[in-house]
Amino acid sequence: MDSLLNVALAQIAPSWLDRDATLEKIKTYIQEAADNKAELIVFGEGLLPGYPFWLAYTDGAKWDLKINKELHAHYAQNAVQIESGDLNKVCALAKECSVSVYLGVIERARDRGGHSLYCSLVYIDNLGTIQSIHRKLQPTYDERLTWAPGDGHGLQVHPLKQFRLGGLNCWENWMPLPRASLYGQGENVHIAVWPGNENNTKDITRFIARESRSYVLSVSSLMRKEDFPKETPYLETLLRVVPDVLANGGSCIAGPDGEWLVPPVLNKEGLIYHTLDCNRIYEERQNFDPVGHYSRPDVTQLQINRQRQSTVSFED
């Protein structure tokens, strides 16, 4: 039925800072989700190839420190360059399995010179086509030492059966205006991706659901000491200073009434399944719709610049 949508939340750890190994893991979980009749699978923020955890433990803001330079270079070399085909196999698998995918990546964007890094949320439809790449608008705190700020180009929603999907990265979900930009496009399934930890998801997930009268899928990664590959630069140094668990998950689903459908899942790697019923969205919109009958566009309006930003333009 078009009014039902089978979803899978992939709460997994990357093979940290190893793009190729993490890609293989992602493909395995896409196949598993499809085998279990999922029509949409969502992965956490920056999962490919991983979150820059080292910055909190290596004097990340100290100027000209060799460990941070070398780890950043390693990170960049393992980042995703979409224009070079780094996601082609994921797209082909999405088409083969007829499953849509939200995937958090660290993007080394060619249209910004090919060296700076962006925390991007990529939507691939069930025909294997990349429909949007949302670059995180504002990296948070120490993330700004390794990620560049994005733009509004990826503030888009996408149809899937009777649903309209949109998504934001991590603390962007606390930004009311980007949320409103998605609501205004008819979003009714909100994808919130996180690097991991219940403290990120336990409050905002239900709040967004209640505010928007939408389903909210919060998807977090895991990260443990055993997820550091042996080839990681400065591995022994990192293992001495990081905790045993850097991200404990917290993936969850809230319904359009703001109540839990799947409470936060902790320290468990694998797929979390649920079926969404579109009719529940219409039931909850009966008394509140933040961009419809419970809005006042004659008083307040939001303007969005969705132009992809670049330093240069060419007329050839």
Spatial separation of the C-alpha atoms in residues 269 and 272, rounded to whole Å:
9
Residue 63 lies in a domain: yes
pLDDT in tens, 176-229: 999 999 999 999 999 999 999 999 999 999 999 999 999 999 999 999 999 999
CB 38 within 8 A of CB 273: yes
Residue 296 lies in a domain: no
Spatial separation of the C-alpha atoms in residues 81 and 300, rounded to whole Å:
39
CATH code (residue 179):
3.60.110.10
Whole-model pTM: value is 0.97
Residue 55 lies in a domain: yes
**Three-state DSSP class for residue 132:** strand
pLDDT in tens, 155-181: 999 999 999 999 999 999 999 999 999
Residue 311 lies in a domain: no
Q: Find the domain containing 225 and state its range.
A: 4-285
The residue behind tokens 């969005």 is: 304
Spatial separation of the C-alpha atoms in residues 80 and 117, rounded to whole Å:
9
Residue 307 lies in a domain: no
Cβ-in-10-Å burial (0-12, 13-18, 19+) of 90 comes to buried
Residue 161 lies in a domain: yes
- How many structural domains does the chain have? 1
According to DSSP, residue 298 is labeled T
Residue 316 lies in a domain: no
pLDDT in tens, 258-313: 999 999 999 999 999 999 999 999 999 999 999 999 999 999 999 999 999 998 88
The region, left, alpha or beta by phi > 0 then psi within -120 to 50, assigned to residue 213 is: left
Of 246, 189, 268, 253, give the one whose Cα is nearest residue 219. 253
Residue 299 lies in a domain: no
Active site residues: 45, 136, 170
